[in-house]
Structure 1
Amino acid sequence: MQWPYELQIGWRYTRAGRSGRRNGFISFISGVSMLGIALGVAALIIVLSVMNGFQKEVRDRMLSVISHVEVYQSQGEALPDWQATAAQARLNPQVVGAAPFIAAQALIARGDDMRGAIVRGISPTEEATVTDLAAQLRDTTLAQLVPGGWGIVLGGELARGLGLRLGDKVTIVAPGGQVTPAGVVPRLKQLTLVGTFEAGHYEYDNGLALIHVEDAARLFRVEGPTGVQLRLKDAQEARAVADELQVRLGPTVRLSDWTRTNRNWFQAVQIEKRLMFIILTLIVAVAAFNLVSTLVMTVTDKQADIAILRTLGASPRSIMAIFMVQGAASGVIGTLAGMVLGLAVAFNIGVIVPAIERALHMSFLPSSIYLISRMPSDPQSGDIVPIVLISLALAFVATIYPSWRASRVQPAEALRYE
């Protein structure tokens, strides 16, 4: 196959230039530009993959404790028939599990220590079909929650903060007091700690308490479960499923999915990712625009060649194409090398980081401080493709001005002193 001569000459200029002091220096600058692009692209891929990994790790730990969708009464009262509501919800093929719940804020006290927490009344059997945590604890810790037993299961951090051990008594101060001749007094109930859990998510480990749903109904004075938790086949479809179920179940109930409940956290993560993307893209931009200086020096060095090509009939457009091919080739090589390097590190970060920690005798994520003690990574095509395209676009833009300058070279002027 006969390639256009512009492509052949541009590629030859990219590979050549290593003989002589001046050509060798130009080649060195070109190599530095390609290396800068490669390192910038690799850094972008690695950083965004690690951020995706942390986000996925936190999301998975969060979804091990909470359901994908919650259905509850608009007035905060008990559902008239939670089984019927769950049956209607199961008509959606995405719904694979349903469980009743009662949730309310309360104070948990032991002696003079008092902590605020979300007290969730659950049915251990049905709850195991909704959350991974309940499925793990169904036959052990949650089996201790029996109707009328007034047992309570606390997050590990909350139990340690109150200095509790299994069998200790804790007091729940329920919202809404009792009206007595002496005035309004808070409603108190003493419960026995029958177990703890470690979800790996500080918000729940430090602020969630589980009791049996029938005990919760008596404690908070409601006639039954105030809502139904739903588990879906695909957690990413929670918002769409919630909107569809809202239409099916009618305006008497409200639905909330996990993406809306934790909207602020996910928005903060997305903003952080965008800022990191912009900052690291500037590194790629600096490296890409180093190609400008490389091509300007190449154009100056190749003026005689340009003049000869012009006298042989090459048009200014062809001259411009030759040097754009040279610059674009450097950008493509640097981008592809950076993509390969970035993916190699991102997919093997679980091996690379421990090796660095052993070599430096230190730990980047001490397990005594951080709940996530390993460096997670989750490369996603939605991040990698834009990175590659932006890098190629910046490299292409950087070639325009030097190539235009090359097309303006006058043959007579260039050959006057040759």
Structure 2
Amino acid sequence: MFKPLEIFIGLRYTRAKQRSGFISFISMTSMLGVALGVMALITVLSVMNGFEAQLREKILGMASHVTISEYYNALQDWQVLGDTLSETDDVAGWAPFVRAEVMLSANQRVSGSLLRGVLPGQEDQVSDINQKMVEGRLELLKPKEFGIVLGSELARYLRVGVGDKVTVITPQVTPTPAGILPRLRRFTVVGEFEVGMYEYDRNLAFIHLDDGSKLLRLNKGVTGVRVKLHDLFQAPVVTGKIAQTLTPNYSISNWTMEHSNFFKAIKTEKRVMFIILMLIVAVAAFNIVSTLVMVVTDKQSEIAILRTLGLTPRSVMGVFMVQGTLIGLIGTLVGVAAGVGLALNVEMIVHTIEQFFHVQFLPADIYYISELPSKLVWSDVTTIATYSFLLSFVSTLYPAWQASRVNPAEALRYE
């Protein structure tokens, strides 16, 4: 079988037992360093992808993909708008809502809250609130009965449960003979939900759409319409399409605008973590430099003999590039295999460690995400493996170039 001379000699040097055990040890250390760096990078990025996916699921399970409202007035023709949205191929569902910042009072405690009026039968089209109920049901919100559903943390703070009364204080005022007083309304708690995000569990409450419209004096209007898309990542494109069909008095936004800072922070954190962990791979890869420098020094006489037999400096350089690249390639492949295996089984491994040592890394009473999620993205694996291999290849250039400059006469003078 045809095999170029440089590859043949390079593989022979790699397989051959070194006269210096220290050189062999350094080569193995470099290989293991690359493997560990690649494994750590794949595992950490997979865990970060898992956390991002869970957070996105929790946030977008409650937030709308697209929100449409009017700039200055309540939205009165929301039924017509909803029928128009239903005919759009990208839209999976829609629901009207009323929103206001209010104060909730109970048991001599007061808390600010975001009050959202919804249609229980239609809210399933745009959110996962029904799947998050821990007490009661959203369907218990009925018009003119003034029921309210609280987040679990909010209910705990106000010390109320199902059947208790909560006073809703709106920012609107009512003139009376005694002066201007804030508008108050007593609501009955009919349910509690728990999303797993403090932002929602502590600050969000639901009432029926009709009660919300009456409470805020919207004259049967709504604050806006929430829209759910088949593909949430197409939200910016779909927003543009919908905006073209609306009149200028409408305001339209999507989740990438409302939560852009949060997801940008996650991407920035992933990018920084990638750079930091890639430095581990870089350190291990550049250990190949010291390995090859010592190999070149150890084999100067053999290089000189090869040169006298007609091997060109370029071929000598190729020999040592093959040897160094092979170290990096093996380290990268081992790291990829170990990293993929660890990323796919990290939840089981962490659970086993917790049971064996009787510890819990993410206590449920402190962290809302008590499991260590992992999501393996093959494009990340490909990128990591490519960068690792390139760093290993670059590390071979200088030692190989030094080997090509060995002077046969000087190297064989004392042989």
Alignment TM class, shorter chain as reference:
over 0.9
Mapped to 2, the partners of 1:338 and 1:401 lie a distance apart of 25
Q: What is the CA–CA distance in structure 1 between the aligned matches of 2:241 and 2:369, rounded to whole Å? A: 36
**Which residue of the other structure, out of 391, 395, 398, is the alignment partner of 1:394?**
391
Contact 1:125–1:138, Cα closer than 8 Å, also in 2? no
Q: How far did residue 252 of structure 1 move?
A: 2.0
Equivalent residue for 1:227? 224
- Listed as ranges, the matches of 1:356-367 within 5 Å are 356-367=353-364
Say if 2:1 is the partner of 1:5: no
Is 1:204 aligned to residue 200 of structure 2?
Answer: yes
1:273 to 270, 295, 318: 270
Q: Among residues 186, 192, 208, which one is paired with 2:188 in the alignment?
A: 192
The letter for the 2-side match of 1:10 is G
Q: Structure 1 residue 176: deviation in Å?
A: 2.4
Deviates more, 1:288-297 or 1:89-98: 89-98
Q: What's the counterpart of residue 413 of structure 1? A: 410
> Judging changes above 3 Å, is the alpha-carbon distance between structure 1 residues 279 and 139 closer, same or farther for their aligned structure 2 residues?
closer
Structure 1: gaps of 5 or more residues: none
Q: Distance in 1 between matches of 2:86 and 2:295?
A: 69
Q: Which residue of 2 aligns with 1:385?
A: 382
Q: For residues 27 and 139 of structure 1, what CA distance do their matches in structure 2 show?
A: 65
Contact 1:124 1:212 (C-alpha < 8 Å) held by counterparts: yes
Is contact 2:61–2:128 with CA below 8 Å preserved after alignment? yes
308-317 vs 115-124, greater mean Cα deviation: 308-317
What is the TM-score when the length of structure 2 is the normalising length? Answer: 0.96
Is the CA contact (8 Å cut-off) linking 2:107 and 2:159 kept in structure 1? no
Distance (Å, rounded) in 1 between the aligned partners of 2:273 and 2:135: 44
| Structure 1 segment 163-312 matched on structure 2, within 5 A | 163-223=159-219, 224-312=221-309
* Displacement after TM superposition at 1:140 (Å): 5.3
Whether 2:15 is the aligned partner of 1:15: answer: yes
Q: Kindly indicate whether the alpha-carbon contact (under 8 Å) linking 2:45 and 2:270 is maintained by their aligned counterparts in 1.
A: yes
Q: Write the distance in 2 (CA, Å) between the matches of 1:411 and 1:157.
A: 79
Give, in angstroms, the shift of residue 179 of structure 1.
Answer: 3.3
Q: 2: CA distance between counterparts of 1:390 and 1:8?
A: 26
Query: Is the Cα contact below 8 Å between 1:79 and 1:227 reproduced in 2?
Result: yes
The aligned counterpart of 2:114 is 118
Q: Is the 8 A contact 2:134 2:193 kept in 1?
A: no
CA offset at residue 138 of structure 1?
A: 12
Aligned to 1:72: 69
Look up the SS of the partner of 2:44 in the other structure: helix
Cα displacement (A) at 1:181: 4.9
Helix, strand or coil: the match of 1:206? helix
SS at match of 1:193: strand
- Give the whole-Å Cα distance in 2 for the aligned partners of 1:382 and 1:114: 49
Aligned to 2:28: 31
SS at match of 2:311: coil
One-letter amino acid of the structure 2 residue matched with residue 409 of structure 1? V
Given that residues 124 and 138 in structure 1 are in contact (C-alpha distance below 8 angstroms), is that contact kept between their aligned partners in structure 2?
Answer: no
Please state how far the C-alpha of 1:313 moved relative to its aligned partner.
Answer: 1.5
Cα distance, 1:242 vs. partner?
1.4
TM-score, length basis structure 1: 0.95
Aligned match of 2:85: 89
Residues 350, 333 of structure 1: CA spacing in aligned structure 2 closer, same or farther, 3 A cutoff? same
How far, CA to CA, are the matches of 1:297 and 1:364 in structure 2? 44
**DSSP-derived class of the 1:164 partner:** coil
Identity fraction in percent? 50
SS at match of 1:402: helix
Q: CA RMSD in A?
A: 1.7
Amino acid in the other structure paired with 1:366: P
Asked if 2 retains the 8 angstrom alpha-carbon contact of 1:7 and 1:322, the reply is yes
Distance in 2 (CA, whole Å) between partners of 1:158 and 1:183 is 31
- Aligned residues, how many? 414
**Aligned amino acid, residue 132 of structure 1:** D
Contact preservation (8 Å) 1:98, 1:129: yes
Residue 72 of structure 1 contacts residue 226 of structure 1 at CA under 8 Å; is this kept in 2? yes
Equivalent residue for 1:108? 104
Residue range with higher mean Cα deviation, 161-170 or 1-10: 1-10
- Contact 1:17–1:26, Cα closer than 8 Å, also in 2: no
| Deviation of 1:385 (Å) | 1.9
User: Which residue in 2 is equivalent to 1:322?
Assistant: 319
Deviates more, 1:384-393 or 1:328-337: 384-393
State the one-letter code of the partner of 2:413: R
**What whole-Å deviation, never above 9, does each CA across 1:332-390 have from its counterpart, x for those lacking one?**
11111111101100001121101111121101111122111111001112322221111
The separation in 2 between residues aligned to 1:176 and 1:15, in whole angstroms, is 83
Structure 2 gap segments, 5+ residues each: none
Query: Runs of 4+ in structure 1 displaced over 4 angstroms?
Result: 135-140
| Alpha-carbon distance in structure 1 between the residues aligned to 2:356 and 2:136 | 41
1:162 corresponding residue in structure 2: 158
> In the TM superposition, what whole-angstrom CA distance separates every residue of 1:7-41 from its partner, at most 9, and x where no partner exists?
111122222234x4x1x221111010010010011
Deviation for aligned residue 1:92: 2.5
1:141 matched to 2:137? The reply is: yes
1:325/1:142 CA distance change after superposition, 3 Å: same
Indicate if the aligned counterparts of 1:129 and 1:135 stay in contact, CA closer than 8 A: no
Which segment drifts farther, 94-103 or 258-267? 258-267
d(CA) in 1 for partners of 2:10, 2:210: 78
